[in-house]
Amino acid sequence: MLRETAEDKRKQTRLFEVASKINGLKFKQFKSSSNKFRIDGFFYDDDLNIKLWAECKWYSGKAHLYLNMAKFNELVYLSEYSKCQSILLFREYDNWGYVVIHDGNKIKCDYEVKLLGGTPKDRVVNDDDIEPLIKINRNNIVWGKKD
C-alpha cells in the first residue's frame, strides 16, 4: 500500500520545483513504489552530477520536522558515500525552508529520537503510525522566501 496520495506527490513536486529554481539544479523524484529508495529524490547539475539528496514534507501548519529512522538513515548513508549534502525540504504555512541533515562529511542537524507520530486527518490508520522518529531541532532551519 502506498502512503503518498496524488496530492502528496503534487506538493512534493512543488517543493522540488521551488528548490530547483533557487539552486539552479534539476531534480528527479523517486516513485512512491520504489523498491530501491525510501527518500523522495535528488538534485543534479547539467553534467548529471548528483549534488543534493532530499526528503520533502508539506505542513499546513507548524512544521513538526520528524523523519522516520529509515529515511534519516538513508539520507545519512547516501551523503556519506556520495559526499553530497542531504536535506529535509519542507513547507510551513506559506513559507518554505530546509534543514541540512548531512553535509557530505558528517551529520549537521541537532536531533532527538522520540516515540512520536500519528495518522493525518482523513487517512487510513496504520499500526505503525506511532514509531521511533528523528525529531529535528527547529534551530537548524534555513528559511527560504515565500513562493
Helix residue ranges per DSSP H, the chain: 6-23, 69-82
What would the mean pLDDT of 63-77 be, rounded to a whole number?
95
Strand residues in 83-138 grouped as ranges (E): 85-92, 95-102, 111-117, 130-136
Higher pLDDT, 5 or 135: 135
pLDDT digits (tens, 9 = 90+) for 111-144: 999 998 765 666 666 666 678 999 999 999 999 8
Identify the structural domains of the chain with CATH numbers, from first to last.
6-108 (3.40.1350.10)
Q: Look at residue 35 and tell me whether its pLDDT is greater than 80.
A: no
